[in-house]
Structure 1
């Protein structure tokens, strides 16, 4: 996805057949199991499944073109890695301009292999970046436990 791309629910022409868009996004969601680099973009596009518009479809098609250019990428699980768990958390305060909700994400590694990752819009609007950080850390800790 282009950096700083702002997608809106109201801009662009409504698609006549939203099933095409939904089918593309469903296939991309399945692909994120082995391609975590697609997770953020697919998560953003999933927010427009109810009433997709032409700009959303164009971004989805561009994402498909990206996937086509790098088919050989994916997850690698080497046999010779130490058994040590590491977790990383990231957040984006007020990521959604319409709802002002923040997005938090995490990834958990066992050795050098990614075993869990998630990016999700938080349920409530946070008043400060510290509050967003506490929620993101809590979500990561719950996943580890």
Structure 2
């Protein structure tokens, strides 16, 4: 996506063929199962399937050009990966111009292999960036819990603490602080969710710099250089197609 463009409901005139727009977005949704690099932009395009505009169609055309230029790109799963869950959680506050809701993103690794990722608009409006980041942490911790259950179902012995990386100091401090105060009353439920998992030693919550936050590409448009740097950390490689 173009970093400076924020798609919204009335950014241009209606697109003349909304049916074809919906069909193409539906196909792109299936592609996100193997292409995490387009997850955020497809999440954005799905917001406007009822009444797409010309600007939305241009954004989708840009995605199609990107896919056409990278036919051999996909996830690489190395055989040397260890049984260690590592997660990255991020949120972009008030991203949606229409609803002012925030976008959350997370990506989960089993060793060095990306196994789960999501870009999603939060269900409610957050009153602060700390609240948005904290809700993203809670949802990421739920995904970690589910992955541990999945490993158990596969009869894979897993006793290590999962590692969850987050770059917002305020959200991490709220998690560690056992005292409720005015700015955290409205996030009490999410606070209990993440604190319970920390107390049960399911995961460790660790700081990370914003420049190294892989989940950043699941919450906002990025410059090409930053996008490609984070893409390599996701384990996405581009195998040249045979001539």
TM-score bin (small chain): over 0.9
Q: Separation in 2 of the partners of 1:144 and 1:11?
A: 38
Higher relative contact order (CA 8 A, sep 6+): 2
2:78/2:113 contact within 8 Å kept = yes
2:104/2:122 contact within 8 Å kept = yes
TM-score (norm 1): 0.96
**Residue in 1 that maps onto 2:86:** 86
TM-score (norm 2): 0.58
- What is the deviation of 1:8? 2.1
2:106/2:119 contact within 8 Å kept = yes
**Residue in 1 that maps onto 2:219:** none
Determine which structure has more spread, i.e. the larger CA radius of gyration: 2
- What is the deviation of 1:17? 2.3
Please list every run of 5 or more consecutive structure 2 residues that lacks an aligned counterpart in the other structure.
146-243
* Aligned residue pair count: 145
| Structure with the higher helix share, 1 or 2 | 2
Matches within 5 A, 1:1-80: 1-80=1-80
User: Tell me, what secondary structure is at the counterpart of 1:28?
Assistant: helix
Q: Separation in 1 of the partners of 2:141 and 2:76?
A: 24
2:8/2:96 contact within 8 Å kept = no
- Structural RMSD (CA): 1.0
